[in-house]
Structure 1
Amino acid sequence: MQKKWIAAGTAALVFMCTAAGAYAGANLKPIKAFLNPSMKFQVNGQPFQPQNDNGAVLAPIVYNNTTYLPVRSMSKALGVAIDYNQQTNTIYLGEKAEGVSVAGTFSGDFRTKDPQLTTYGDKDYKDVFFNNSSGTRGASFMLYPKGKYTKLYLQVAAVGKDVEEIFVQDADTDIKLKIGTVAVSEGIKTFEVDISGVNDLFVHADVKSGGSLFVPLTTSFYK
């Protein structure tokens, strides 16, 4: 119901951007509107107050008998991913049509672009997380989608030994969003993870002695 509501109400939303230059070159028209700070909100039965990214309270705008709400604040309240492309002056709500590589949001050790380590099977993935350390261990890294995406498609391969547990966790709430296994015989395996409204992700796998974890960053992507 939440996603249907936000889709139906998109036409009645106004994008609040704090950067003064964000509207440069846009077709802006002056209007006479009113702020309505007395309007109250509830989301899923709980009181909700729209705020900007700095925590300042935002009031709805009333224009021509239509109430306009701050889209970024409402998208966060409803768990709907949002992003803005300044060059095309386009707001993206929900899943994007094209995938975006996770490489730009990766943080952690064992990242490599060495062709001797980035090749799996017959393909060179160019940029990978490859934990080939010794002993039984945890292999982990961080991803930072910053609430811009709805889905994560994470590709993983177990090398040498099966991975009996791998999980993707919301780093802010410690809620595990996906738990699975990866067998050597499966080759490159893709996990689809719902990450709507999630800012920071913790990815962790338990790797056995003699085994390695291979994660191609160029073909793992957000939507």
Structure 2
Amino acid sequence: MKKKYWVGIIVAMFLLGNATGAWAGSAWKEVKALFNPSLKVELNGQEIDGVKALQYNGSLYLPAKSVSDYFGLNSKLVFDNKANKLIIGGPMYVHLYDKDTANFFQIVINGNWRPSVMTDNRNLYSNYYMGVDFRLESEKGLSLDEYVKQALKNAFEYVKVNKQTNTKVAGAEAQVIDYETSDTVGKLVFIQKDSSFATLLFFVDRTRYQDKDLKEYDKIISSFNIK
């Protein structure tokens, strides 16, 4: 029979890493848990090196820092003792730059999303059922209407337009399209600044889509910034 290691308040230390003063509050309670030093952890087909696990009350607990590092998140760990909240990492700032017009376009993505396409003029982030595809290009002499028609005919020919609305995003002229495909539903946004056109495709797996998913879109589009 393998030796069992019983630990007490180390559970909190294990989960929080080196968060200074994390267990100073009165809400913390001492518990007993099993420590398995030989357990291997595989996440999405990839083994995470150096991760130890604790078993407590029928559940396995992994170090927050190890999991956040795997997902490519900022590994900073902060424990807000007053709010009793563990903060892992921070917002991800995604930006594209158009050298032809010196415009800097930026969005903020919150949550456990990972990059899958990273180029000078395109960034694609997604989690297990939703994502955002952020693109930028220059087209001199085109109006927003002309650019949108061209994009829907070429790059986005696969989308079915359900609703198309003229609006403004970050003070710039924009068009928002409610769309669907055979696999996804979401929002397609075209934004013009001078001769630069930023495109933001927000998509959700249609088999899991719920209206509340659009709150993520609202957060992303509200963070849109042009400098």
TM-score (norm 2): 0.37
Q: Determine which structure has greater relative contact order: mean sequence separation of CA pairs < 8 Å that are 6+ residues apart, divided by chain length.
A: 1
Structure with greater Cα Rg: 2
TM-score (norm 1): 0.37
